[in-house]
Amino acid sequence: MINQFRSKLVENAASILKVPTKLVPVSVQQKVLLEGLKQVFHEALDEGDFEFLEDKWLKVSIIDLELHWFISYQNEKLIVSNKAEVEDVSFSGPLNDLILIAGRKEDPDTLFFQRRLKIEGDTELGLEVKNLMDSVDLDSLPKPLNQALMSLANFVQQGLQKPEIKETINAY
């Protein structure tokens, strides 16, 4: 019963969250995303690993929530915007898949080849973004952030699994 509830919740998460996320002002979305990126990529930012994104724009889209942001690195600072004149590379996918990628429960390459993750534009830049994401040591994240991310990714992963045959038989 709990597994069925979890599966339904994960399956419908984007539908449930779509309206509330639209009510959050874009400026608040941008600030939260920027602060989250700074925490996750603090080492990479300190070491100047974002220079490859200097004056270029990465578009990140959560397609089933109809949300997108543009990320760049300018004057040694990370920038998040809701628009850009030109996007150099774009990463887009459904909410659950992006959570699984962030929690390292799914490989971005696998999802790309399954056409669940789209990477469009400058492929070299896209590869650099992917490699930077892969280089993040999740254990170096603040413990509450790491635990929240792992719990959410585990919840989504378990919710996407097919119910066991035993549960299906008991339902009859």
Residue 134: domain span: 1-159
Q: What is the predicted pLDDT for the residue at 170?
A: 52
CATH code of the domain in which 109 resides:
3.30.1050.10
CA dihedral 10, 13, 16, 20 (to 10 degrees): 140
Domain count, the chain: 1
Q: Is residue 171 part of a domain?
A: no
HSE toward the beta carbon, residue 77, CA cutoff 13 A: 6
Q: What is the predicted pLDDT for the residue at 46?
A: 92
- Cα–Cα distances (Å) from 20 to 17, 31, 66, in that order, read 5, 17, 12
Q: Is residue 12 part of a domain?
A: yes
Q: What is the pLDDT along the chain (172 residues), one digit of tens a residue?
A: 788 999 999 999 999 999 999 999 999 999 999 999 998 898 899 999 999 999 999 999 999 999 999 999 999 999 999 998 889 999 999 999 999 999 999 999 999 999 999 999 999 999 999 989 888 888 888 898 889 999 999 999 999 987 654 455 455 5
Q: Is residue 62 part of a domain?
A: yes
Q: How far apart are CA 133 and CA 141, in angstroms?
A: 13
Q: Is residue 168 part of a domain?
A: no
Q: Is residue 165 part of a domain?
A: no
Q: What is the predicted pLDDT for the residue at 122?
A: 96
Q: What is the predicted pLDDT for the residue at 124?
A: 93
Q: Is residue 79 part of a domain?
A: yes
Q: Is residue 170 part of a domain?
A: no
Q: What is the predicted pLDDT for the residue at 163?
A: 61
**pTM of the full structure:** 0.85
Q: Is residue 56 part of a domain?
A: yes
Q: What is the predicted pLDDT for the residue at 166?
A: 47
Q: What is the predicted pLDDT for the residue at 165?
A: 46
